[in-house]
Amino acid sequence: MNGGIDIQNINVGHKAGSVRIQFNKRDVKLNDDYQKGCHSGSSCIAIEYRPKGPQQWAGIYWQSPVGNWKDANGAYDLRGFKRLVFWAKGRRGGERISQFGLGGEGPNSDDIKILGVTLTHQWQKYTIHLDNKDLHSIIDGFRFFILEYDNPQGCTFYLDDIVLER
């Protein structure tokens, strides 16, 4: 991993002490121990989105500490990291993710994201570049949002190997 941090295995990812904030829980399900066809290792993350409610969107934040929307205490200092790298694929291909990102509104020190990602049915590597970003206080280590408009019948997609790299 060359000095990277595996977000899936620290306090802002899946497995060891996972902390998640789900928006519109009725419409999105997360399986953080999915064990079929993962990019690497024996498990990955499966996300199933089935729009049923009036919100027309859903998302998940991997946040530390949980429920911390106003206070920078407990935030991570990620200065020195150059990239957030992750692998993703859709069950069928064509699944559209409104955004992947980290940070966000205050007290996060920056909001870094990639918008309008269309997944394929093959694992693809995605990179969020962190150069010249203010990373001294990051609470939201990884997030995604998905819209009913882009996926009116819902969708299933997979995430794996979510890593911060120096």
- Structural domain spans, the chain: 5-165
Distance from first CA to last CA of the chain, Å, rounded? 10
d(CA 108, CA 16): 23
Is there a contact between 155 and 110 (Cβ–Cβ < 8 Å)?
Answer: no
- The residues with which 138 forms a beta bridge, in sequence order, are 76
Q: What angle do CA 103, 10, 166 make, to 5 degrees?
A: 65
CB atoms < 10 A from the CB of 105, how many? 10
pLDDT at position 10 is 39
Fold for domain 5-165?
Answer: Jelly Rolls (2.60.120)
pLDDT at position 102 is 92
Is there a contact between 13 and 142 (Cβ–Cβ < 8 Å)?
Answer: yes
| Residue 140: both structure tokens together | 């939201």
Which residue stretches of the chain have pLDDT < 50?
A: 1-5, 8-18
pLDDT at position 35 is 96
d(CA 3, CA 13): 18
Give the tens place of pLDDT for each residue, 134-164. 999 888 889 999 999 999 999 999 999 999 9
